Structure 1
Amino acid sequence: MTDLTRTFGCPVELTLEVLGGKWKTVLLARLKQGPQRYGDLRRNVPGLSDKMLTQRLHELEQVGLVRREAIAGHEHYALTARGESLRAVLQSLYDWGSAFAVEADVKLAP
C-alpha cells in the first residue's frame, strides 16, 4: 500500500513510491495502449499472478491513476486523466528500454 501521508525527500522519491515495483509501471504501459479487461491484462503480462494483478490495480486506483469503466457491458481498466499525464514518461521508459535492448543484445517479446 502506498503511504502518501509521510514527508518525502524529493519529487523523485514520491514518484517512485507511487510507481514503484515492476508491475505498476508495466500495467500503466499496457493501459496506455487503451482500456483493457482484467483477463487481457492477465494474459499480456506474463508472470503476474491474479493476486498481484488485483492488488496492483487496486493501488493504482487508490492514487487516481486507473479507473474501472464499463465498455460494451464489460468491465475494463483505463487510465484516468492523472494516469494519462504519465504518457510521455511511460513512452520515454519504453524508448529507453528498446534502445538498451539493442545495445545490450537483450531479447524482447514481440
Structure 2
Amino acid sequence: MKKIYNIGVEATLDVIGGKWKPIILCHLGNGPMRTGELRRAIPNITQKMLTQQLRELEADEIVARTVYEQVPPKVIYQLTDYGKTLNQILVDMAVWGERQVERLKENGAEVTLLSNHQGYVNGVNS
C-alpha cells in the first residue's frame, strides 16, 4: 500500500510516534539494554507493550536486537546507526519537556520531573 504524507513530520511520527517509543529511544541512547532493564527503567509500560514497540522499532531499523544463545536466553537492544540519527529530535523533545515542567510549576501546577537529561541528553551518541 502506498503511503502519502502531507508533511515530513508525519513520516517521523509514523516511526517514533506514540507514548512509548521516544521514551524507549531515550533510554537506549545511554547504550544497549536488556529487556528487563528497559522494563525497570519504564515502570508504567507493560511487557506486552514494550515488546510490541521494540518490534516496531526493529522493523523500522531504528533498534537492533541481538540474541545470545545461552540459558537463560539473553536479548540486548541497541540503537542502530540509523536510529542514532534521531539524536537531535529527542534532545530537543527532552529540553522542551523540561522547560514545560518549569512553566507548569511557575503557574502553580503540582508536577514533578524525576530526572532531567535522560538518554541522548547525557551526551551519549551525540
TM-score (norm: length of structure 1):
0.88
Deviations along 1:7-63, one digit per CA (max 9) or x if unpaired, are 111211111111111101110011011111100000010210000000000000000
2:105 is aligned with 1:108: no
Say if 2:32 is the partner of 1:35. Answer: yes
Unaligned runs of 5+ in 1: none
Question: In 2, distance between residues paired with 1:70 and 1:51?
Answer: 18
Residue of structure 1 equivalent to 2:94: 94
**CA radius of gyration, larger in:** 2
Between 1 and 2, higher relative CO (CA 8 Å, sep ≥ 6) is seen in 2
Q: Which runs of 4+ in 1 moved over 6 A?
A: none
Taking every aligned residue pair, what percent have the same amino acid on both sides?
Answer: 39
User: RMSD of the alignment, in Å?
Assistant: 1.7
Tell me the distance in 2 between the aligned counterparts of 1:93 and 1:49.
23
**How many matched pairs?**
106
Partner in structure 2 of residue 76 of structure 1: 76
TM superposition score normalised by structure 2: 0.77
Indicate whether 1:50 and 2:47 are aligned.
yes
CA distance in 2, matches of 1:67, 1:81: 10
- In structure 2, list runs of 5 or more residues that go unmatched: 106-110, 116-126
Distance across 2 between alignment mates of 1:31 and 1:89: 14
